[in-house]
Structure 1
Amino acid sequence: MDSFKLKPHHAILLLALAIAFYACYLLVSPYLGSIILAAIVALLVLPLHAKIESYMPAKPNLASVVSCTLVTVVVLLPLLFVTIAIMNEGINFMGNAYDWLTNGGAKAFLSHPYIQSGISLLNKWLPFESLKVDELVQQAAVKVTQLSSSFLSASTGLLGDVANTVLSFSLMLFVLFFFLRDQQTIVSSIRHIIPLSRSQEEMIFNEVKVVAKSAVFGAFLTALAQGALGGIAMAMAGFSGLFWGSMMAFASFIPFVGTAMIWLPASIYLFITGDWQWALFLIAWGVLVIGSIDNFLRPWLMQGSTGMSTLLLFFSLLGGLQLFGLIGLIYGPIIFAVTLVLARLYEIEFKDFIEQQDNS
């Protein structure tokens, strides 16, 4: 077969296609997050959808509706109830913290000999004005008031933004319905227009599928596990398990610090107030149990499936979180994984040229 030669009218057609694709991108860009999320959810629920479809092979529309309904029941409703509970716990915590600061609890805590020794040491070495207990309490009360106002505003905004949240979720379900129903047609169409061999297409599709699943399971299951186990420990130590467990789940996404920004200050507080047994329990639990989950479960769920090095995995998570927010924990590894696949394809296609360059 003669090799393909690019003709002038081919170049015009490709340019027109590029312009058209860019125009389409501008049209769908406001909804791109919902579309990508629908594609990722479709990959995750595809095995379940296949079982549902096997019971009603002649009714693909009904099978997709059932799968989308299950996604709504399993994801949206529990998330709504948990969010409301966290908001209530947060509001109660802010109120209790303000009462503790203004009704003498903070002054009694700061009068502890260990705290006084620490303040004296700071006053001795710090280059600015000396720290005073009354000023510290007053400033802390102001900060708690500001934080409480911000939390209330965020809660009110979250409740007031329910319409947008429902709209985004509904759009995701709408796209998910077609992804599930027409999965074979969509995949075949994409493969048909991609100028790659079938084996190369398989490499890219399989890598995206594996990385998307491992990113979801690695990041979010690790956060859920750390939040659940951290919440149990905090409840046993006398704190609000639901609120602080949820905070640990969110803190687990923060590199380097992670859940320690929650359980370590709580341990210090318990130690100073005399509950040193619970303080030691929280420290041991945080290091041995919660820390081991982050050190073993996340790499095992993610790196073991993707074949990506720990360094690349770290920067894919960190960069994805920085660029795209929470959803970047999925986008980042996918971008890196596709890049690695393309690099392998380049190595295969230009093998002779690379070897010639190595030997020159």
Structure 2
Amino acid sequence: MAEFKTEPRHWLLIIALLLALYASYLLIAPYVGALVLAFVLSLLCISLHKRLEAKLPGKPNLAAALSCTALVVVIVLPAGLVFFAIVQQAAQFTKQSYQWLSKGGAEKLLQHPSIINGKEKIEHYLPIDSVNTQDIIQRLTEFASSFGKVLLDMGTKLVGDITGVLFGLFLMLFVLFFLLRDYDKVVDALHWLIPLTRSQENALLTEAKNVGRSAVMGSFLTGIAQGVAGGIAMSIVGMPGLFWGTMMAFASFIPLVGTALIWIPAALYLGLTGEWGWAAFLAGWGVIVVGSIDNFLRPILMQGSSNMNTLLIFLSLIGGIQLFGLIGVIYGPIIFALTAVLLKLYAIEFKGFLEQQDKS
């Protein structure tokens, strides 16, 4: 390995470079989400883009433009339309729920013999005070009212900030165009500038690809498939399919519980209201169809992806959503995975020192 001797001018250059990088970060901080998403999508789309580029020799601009256009047509436009439909259906469901609560639907349901027997057993075996039915109804009414307000605020904010949403989308596609067109140049530049060995750099880049594929293919597509299947069943039994299907898609990210968090209470509600046939249908669909998607589709989509355990994936998902919003389901796992790779590289690079410290 070539020996590198630092001189005062090197430190001056490094300090100036760090200050310049920090100032540059401040300039792009409002748009960092779009930039990171463009980078992740470039890692995921590069294989398909290379195939398209091979069919269009000497036309890199056209190939990159077609790849970005395909992304918009296949993913962005349908996702936007579905989102607006979900907000509309959710608002309608919230209104109906509030009316049902106001007209005594919850009170009638809570007087069901099974509910009363279950309430008595809970009060008998658990050290809790008596559960007041009116308190439950009041809390449900308050939740329905506040949930409706949240949806209204969300829709208003989205419509009011439509310019910002479109600008972020345009920026993401603009950056993605250049990342796809100049992918090899960008990768070579990163290899040259990052002061790591080529094997270490490849390990980081490979892990970013694997986790990005895992987060999108394994989690997103499995969640979407479960949401679609669950939404179909909800529509058949007379519930808002699009809304509850979306809730199932989100619930699929929760380990162990998953979509059962949605369809089990729904099946119980149908049973308690006398719709035992539909309740059995929904429960069977949840176990056989929705459950089978998670058991069979997820392992197929995640072949060759990162081997992060379930706990780390769950923590990275909820932490990513908390920090970055919905896009955090991609950011979180990538941050955790790159941290794990850096820890492995650290353990290899300082193996002798760590062993010496462990023995001392």
Which band: TM-score by shorter chain? Answer: 0.7 to 0.9
Instruction: Give the superposition deviation at 1:65.
Output: 1.4
How does 1:118-267 map onto structure 2 within 5 Å? 118=118, 131-132=132-133, 137=137, 140-255=140-255, 257-267=257-267
Cα distance between partner residues in 2 of 1:184 and 1:68? 17
Deviations 1:270-303 (A, max 9, x none): 1111222332333343345434544665466448
Where does residue 37 of structure 1 map in the other structure? 37
Instruction: Give the superposition deviation at 1:101.
Output: 2.8
Cα distance between partner residues in 2 of 1:98 and 1:200? 57
What one-letter code is carried by the residue in structure 2 that aligns with 1:99? Q
Where does residue 337 of structure 1 map in the other structure? 337
RMSD: 2.9
- C-alpha contact 1:119 1:131 (8 A) present in aligned 2: no
Structure 1 stretch displaced more, 161-170 or 194-203 = 194-203
Deviations 1:282-331 (A, max 9, x none): 33433454345446654664485213344433433343334333222222
Deviations 1:234-277 (A, max 9, x none): 22323222221112112223455432332122111111112223
With over 3 angstroms needed to count, the CA separation of the structure-2 counterparts of 1:302 and 1:320, relative to structure 1, is: farther
- C-alpha contact 1:229 1:290 (8 A) present in aligned 2: yes
Given the alignment of the two structures, is residue 26 of structure 1 paired with residue 50 of structure 2, yes or no? Answer: no
Cα distance between partner residues in 2 of 1:311 and 1:97? 35
What one-letter code is carried by the residue in structure 2 that aligns with 1:182? D
What one-letter code is carried by the residue in structure 1 that aligns with 2:70? L
SS for the counterpart of 1:185 is helix
With over 3 angstroms needed to count, the CA separation of the structure-2 counterparts of 1:113 and 1:204, relative to structure 1, is: closer
For normalisation by structure 2, the TM-score amounts to 0.87
With over 3 angstroms needed to count, the CA separation of the structure-2 counterparts of 1:176 and 1:113, relative to structure 1, is: same
Given the alignment of the two structures, is residue 348 of structure 1 paired with residue 348 of structure 2, yes or no? Answer: yes
Where does residue 313 of structure 1 map in the other structure? 313
For normalisation by structure 1, the TM-score amounts to 0.87
What one-letter code is carried by the residue in structure 1 that aligns with 2:132? L
- C-alpha contact 2:226 2:249 (8 A) present in aligned 1: yes
With over 3 angstroms needed to count, the CA separation of the structure-2 counterparts of 1:359 and 1:132, relative to structure 1, is: closer
Cα distance between partner residues in 2 of 1:136 and 1:347? 54
Deviations 1:129-181 (A, max 9, x none): 76245x75566445433432332232222222222111111110111111111
Deviations 1:43-90 (A, max 9, x none): 122122222222322222222111111111112211122122222322
- C-alpha contact 1:191 1:201 (8 A) present in aligned 2: yes
Cα distance between partner residues in 2 of 1:249 and 1:309? 21
SS for the counterpart of 1:54 is helix
SS for the counterpart of 2:58 is coil
Instruction: Give the superposition deviation at 1:123.
Output: 7.5
Structure 1 stretch displaced more, 19-28 or 254-263 = 254-263
**What is the percent sequence identity of the aligned residues?**
51
- C-alpha contact 2:98 2:145 (8 A) present in aligned 1: yes
SS for the counterpart of 1:306 is coil
State the aligned residue count.
359
Structure 2: runs of 5 or more not aligned? none
Cα distance between partner residues in 2 of 1:121 and 1:312? 37
Structure 1 stretch displaced more, 34-43 or 67-76 = 67-76
Cα distance between partner residues in 2 of 1:350 and 1:157? 50
Cα distance between partner residues in 2 of 1:282 and 1:64? 45
Deviations 1:180-203 (A, max 9, x none): 111122111111111222222222
With over 3 angstroms needed to count, the CA separation of the structure-2 counterparts of 1:282 and 1:24, relative to structure 1, is: same
What one-letter code is carried by the residue in structure 2 that aligns with 1:29? A
Cα distance between partner residues in 1 of 2:187 and 2:320? 26
Cα distance between partner residues in 1 of 2:202 and 2:347? 17
Cα distance between partner residues in 2 of 1:138 and 1:341? 50
With over 3 angstroms needed to count, the CA separation of the structure-2 counterparts of 1:345 and 1:88, relative to structure 1, is: closer
Cα distance between partner residues in 1 of 2:184 and 2:90? 46
Cα distance between partner residues in 2 of 1:338 and 1:130? 48
SS for the counterpart of 1:6 is coil
With over 3 angstroms needed to count, the CA separation of the structure-2 counterparts of 1:269 and 1:5, relative to structure 1, is: same
Instruction: Give the superposition deviation at 1:204.
Output: 1.7
With over 3 angstroms needed to count, the CA separation of the structure-2 counterparts of 1:358 and 1:115, relative to structure 1, is: closer
With over 3 angstroms needed to count, the CA separation of the structure-2 counterparts of 1:76 and 1:309, relative to structure 1, is: closer
SS for the counterpart of 2:305 is helix
